[in-house]
A and B are shown apart, each in its own frame.
Chain A
């Protein structure tokens, strides 16, 4: 269950978590790579959810999530423990998604992928859509709305999209978003404001 994982509520970290994770990091640095599995097991769902919200493709999100953990493992010697491990992991995830977006222009757009997924075109299990069990008209409307939101998010810059998603989809605090993106609180708020304005323009007819 996702909500049972430590660090799911950023405002109230599990007591002793930093110490326990520090001890596991020490084991990894001492040459015990198997100890890293603790971090994968603990954070894989959260990293996947963040990445998936940004890329909207389960297969790509899976590959990127794996890359994030491998990058994190390689960077463990440089991790100083100034931020929480999860915050550091989020930073790696945001950078990985941004780099991936830079490397190649998606052949299929965000929104098309969301629509294909609604049509059962995803190789992974279909989303548990909150509209399941309602009328076909409502399902179609839901698909349309999701497509529009996907298009609107796609119009944001990778950084703005990451900030917006962390705030409104992941419900992270401004301070956490700042730590994950390397920006101060004021800049994060400014990006959020600008992202919301862009979305407003894109979602004009939804209101």
Chain B
């Protein structure tokens, strides 16, 4: 006997080679009836299965293929008709029709729009709810007790105070303007 018996991997590779073309037969397999039988058993099982699969396809009657072909072509014709119609229909009409054909989409869009408007209204607090957020920040800014603030914050405070004082003394400045400009 020449060499060792084939390993399990070698038996599988004899039947299911991952490379193309015929693989060389190991010398051992050529002379070892046991290894030949192992390879033959697996190959027979596979060929049996492959033959059965081919048998299924070849035994199908002509009517089966005709029916399958007709079914495909019917679907193709329907899709082609829809596509042709879509090409012939201008965009707004197509959009309106798609909305009308999908009531769930139409109601969903409406509900989403209402929810968005309601949400924005609540967030803004309504038109009469109070001063604008920007104004609130200015009035809430601490004027006194700025000891704990940084230098830049203190500078900002000073600037705000001087703006306030300019605005409050605006009436006296008006007195300086010529008559015609008042």
Contacts and interface: CB of A to CB of B under 8 A. Distances in A.
B54 A148 contact: no
Interface string B57-87: 1111100110011011101110110001000
B65 to A, nearest CB: 6
Interface in B11-45: 11-13, 16, 18-20, 38, 41-42, 45
A10 B135 CA distance: 79
A44 B51 contact: no
B79 A169 contact: no
A40 B51 contact: no
B57 to A, nearest CB: 5
Interface residues on B, range: 35 or more
A129 B73 CA distance: 32
Contacts of A129: 51-52, 55
A125 B61 contact: yes
A146 B20 CA distance: 25
Contacts of A128: 52, 55-56, 58-59
Interface of A: 2, 31, 33-34, 36-37, 40-41, 44-45, 48-49, 52-53, 58, 62, 65-66, 69-70, 73-74, 117, 124-131, 142, 145-146, 148-150, 164, 167-169, 173-174, 189-190, 192-193, 195-197, 199-200, 203-204, 206-207
Contact of A130 (B20, B51, B61, B73): B51
A196 B18 contact: yes
B57 A2 contact: yes
B50 A65 contact: no
Q: Which secondary structure characterizes the binding site on chain A?
A: helix
A49 B51 CA distance: 12
A195 B16 CA distance: 9
A2 B56 CA distance: 12
15 contacts: A33-B79, A36-B76, A40-B73, A49-B53, A52-B53, A62-B64, A69-B72, A127-B56, A128-B56, A130-B47, A145-B49, A146-B48, A196-B18, A200-B8, A207-B41
Contact of B48 (A70, A73, A131, A207): A131
